[in-house]
Amino acid sequence: MDDGITVTGLTKRYGPVTAVDGLTFTVAPGQVTGFLGPNGAGKTTTLRMLLGLVAPTAGRALIGGRRYADLREPRRSVGAVLEATGFHPGRTGRDHLRVIAAAGGLPADGIAAVLDRVGLAAAAGRRVRGYSLGMRQRLGLAAALLGDPRALILDEPANGLDPAGMAELRDLLRGLAADGRTVLMSSHLLSEVAQTVDRVIIVADGTLRFAGPLGELTGGRGETLEAAFLRLTSPRPRQPGAVAPAGH
Amino acid sequence: MHSLIGAEALKLRTVRGPWLVLAAGPPLVIAGISGLVISGGDLRDPATQAKALSHVGLTAVFALAFGILAVAGEYRHKTITDTYLSTPARGRVIAAKLAVYPLFAAVATLVTALAALGVTAAWWSARGVPFAWGDPAMWATAGGGIAENAVFAALGVGVGALVRNLAAAIAAALAWIALIEGIVGQLVGGLARWLPFYAGQALGAGGKSMLPGALLPRWGAALVLVAYTAAFAVAAAATSVRRDVA
């Protein structure tokens, strides 16, 4: 598809350990898609393969039909918020964004706007070593939004945010999706996910367990999201490349 | 590429740490030159002016550490993720760092060389010895010292990109310079002058330096160092491109 994310037969092996096993799913634009799974399910590895940080052992991970490495202006196509993205402690928040703008060929005058949007305008002149966890998350979000990207990939973006911050993030992501962008967000906070996403993709042990609308997951048996999640991700015999029983 | 070079320069201009490493240069040369004079150096010997300025070349170990910070520092602070997200063509990132770090090291060494010149002239004046401002050996040594620092910064970029772990890269570099190259030098005898630090001294101190044995001529030493840098840079680029960024 023109926009959107496509993962096909994606596999990553680290020696004897298979972190991601024949994963296949699509993420459409215009909605917020939650990417859920227990610890060690392969979520972060999958997102890193989408972003070209990790090379797949097999399969493909495409954004707008292209590998990340083939995107002409990656920061304008994809904004990424990852747990491991770090900041130089001695650099100010504003300078961090100036560096990203410079490296990505983005105009520097977008920086003030994006700082306002995430609520960091006042703290932008301080060095990152003085930032709280919530402020670092906001800075990461600001960096992701700087290029006004068509797709957003977020790994546990609500981590460290207080309730007000989570509500703002939810509104931001829903607004971006309503704009027609593709939003893929991994999370552990099922209660937050339930309020934010339209569609869920659930993985465990590197394999797909469910892909479909949120309503379909919970409505079928009248379960809560938590109950459905635990049922789908309980340990089971491995079937590589399995497609979930509830359709796409 | 132009925007990448600008970004690398901006990265250096927005932090202080790397500059603190280079700031060790001027105090070192001031102490070294003062030591040379106080310990009884013969100021009337025309070669002593060049010998004083040869301290500039010694600061190349700081330039090496500065260069190592280029990539290994990014891994340490985990900013390497953002760097490779901005520029998935990782070889170009390393190329941009190879353009910027030696240039900044050269400018910083220019400051060190001016400090060395000033201190040397001051000591000569204090001892009542006329200072030969036009001494060609002295200027060649000063220039060689700046070149030595620039090349070691470039070498550091390659080493840091290959090793990635900052502490390990710095420790290995220091161990090589302080111990291993000396030991290897004794084992290979006359071939020692082809080793990196030996070559560096040849560039920065000229034919006479503090190392035993014959050294390469300046231009030969420069070529040898550029070859070492190219080897590390190619190895670093080749491994970086395929490496998983955890």
- Are A143 and B242 within 8 A, CB to CB? no
- What is the C-alpha separation between B175 and B70, in angstroms, rounded? 20
- What is the C-alpha separation between A56 and B206, in angstroms, rounded? 51
- Are the beta carbons of A220 and A246 closer than 8 angstroms? yes
- Are A85 and B14 within 8 A, CB to CB? no
What mean pLDDT, rounded, does chain B reach? 91
What mean pLDDT, rounded, does chain A reach? 91
pLDDT of residue B3: 92
- What is the C-alpha separation between B41 and B140, in angstroms, rounded? 20
Using left for φ > 0, alpha for ψ between -120 and 50, and beta otherwise, residue A35 falls in: beta
Least confident window among A139-143, A191-195, B30-34? A191-195
CA B191 from chain centre, in angstroms, equals 22
CA A155 from chain centre, in angstroms, equals 4
The count of other CB atoms within 10 Å of the CB of residue A48 is 26
- What is the C-alpha separation between B43 and B46, in angstroms, rounded? 7
Selection from B11, B21, B24, B172 nearest residue B77 by Cα: B11
Write the single-letter amino acid at A119.
G
Cα–Cα distance list, A59 to A1, A51, A62, A94 (Å) = 17, 14, 10, 38
Q: What is the DSSP letter of A80?
A: E
B7–A contact, CB cutoff 8 A? yes
- What is the C-alpha separation between A138 and A162, in angstroms, rounded? 12
A79–B contact, CB cutoff 8 A? no
Chain B residues close to A69, C-beta within 8 Å: 88-89
A105–B contact, CB cutoff 8 A? yes
C-alpha torsion sign, points B104, B108, B114, B117 = negative
Q: How many Å lie between the alpha carbon of B26 and the closest alpha carbon of chain A?
A: 24
A104–B contact, CB cutoff 8 A? yes
Task: Give the DSSP H or E segment for A225.
Answer: helix A225-233
Residue A244: pLDDT above 60?
no
- Are the beta carbons of A113 and A107 closer than 8 angstroms? no
pLDDT in tens, B98-126: 999 999 999 999 999 999 999 999 999 99
Residue A3: pLDDT above 80?
no
- Per-residue pLDDT, averaged over B74-92, amounts to 95
Structure tokens at B160: 């840091």
pLDDT of residue A96: 97
Please report the DSSP string for chain B in residue order. Answer: -HHHHHHHHHHHHT-SHHHHHHTTHHHHHHHHHHHHHHTT--TTSTHHHHHHHTHHHHTHHHHHHHHHIIIIIHHHTT-HHHHHHH-S-HHHHHHHHHHHHHHHHHHHHHHHHHHHHHHHHHHHHHTT----TT-HHHHHHHHHHHHHHHHHHHHHHHHHHHH--HHHHHHHHHHIIIIIHHHHHHHHGGGGGGSHHHHHHHHHHTT--SSSS----HHHHHHHHHHHHHHHHHHHHHHHHH----
CA B25 from chain centre, in angstroms, equals 10
- Per-residue pLDDT, averaged over B70-94, amounts to 95
A92–B contact, CB cutoff 8 A? yes
Quote ipTM for the complex: 0.91
- Are A102 and B7 within 8 A, CB to CB? yes
pLDDT of residue A84: 64
- Are the beta carbons of A63 and A69 closer than 8 angstroms? no
- Are B85 and A75 within 8 A, CB to CB? yes
A36 DSSP β-pair partners = A202
Res. A1 pLDDT band, cuts 50 70 90: very low
pLDDT in tens, B205-214: 875 555 566 7
- Are the beta carbons of A44 and A155 closer than 8 angstroms? yes
Residue A111: pLDDT above 90?
yes
Selection from B12, B1, B10, B2 nearest residue B157 by Cα: B12
pLDDT of residue B208: 55
Structure tokens at A25: 């799913």
Cα–Cα distance list, B16 to B19, B21, B48, B115 (Å) = 5, 9, 35, 21
What does the buried/exposed string (b/e) look like for A210-224 if buried means 16 or more CB atoms within 10 Å of the residue's CB? bbbebebbbeeeeee
More confidently predicted of B21 and A235: B21
- Are the beta carbons of A232 and A202 closer than 8 angstroms? yes
Residue with tokens 């659930």: A202
Class of residue A130 by CB neighbours under 10 A (exposed 0-12, middle 13-18, buried 19+): exposed
pLDDT in tens, A29-54: 999 999 999 988 999 999 999 999 99
A87–B contact, CB cutoff 8 A? yes
Res. A23 pLDDT band, cuts 50 70 90: very high
Selection from A210, A205, A168 nearest residue A34 by Cα: A210
Q: What percent of chain A has pLDDT over 70?
A: 94
Res. B243 pLDDT band, cuts 50 70 90: confident
- Per-residue pLDDT, averaged over B17-28, amounts to 95
Res. B187 pLDDT band, cuts 50 70 90: confident
Q: How many Å lie between the alpha carbon of A65 and the closest alpha carbon of chain B?
A: 17
Chain B residues close to A75, C-beta within 8 Å: 85-86
pLDDT of residue B210: 54
- Per-residue pLDDT, averaged over A171-184, amounts to 96
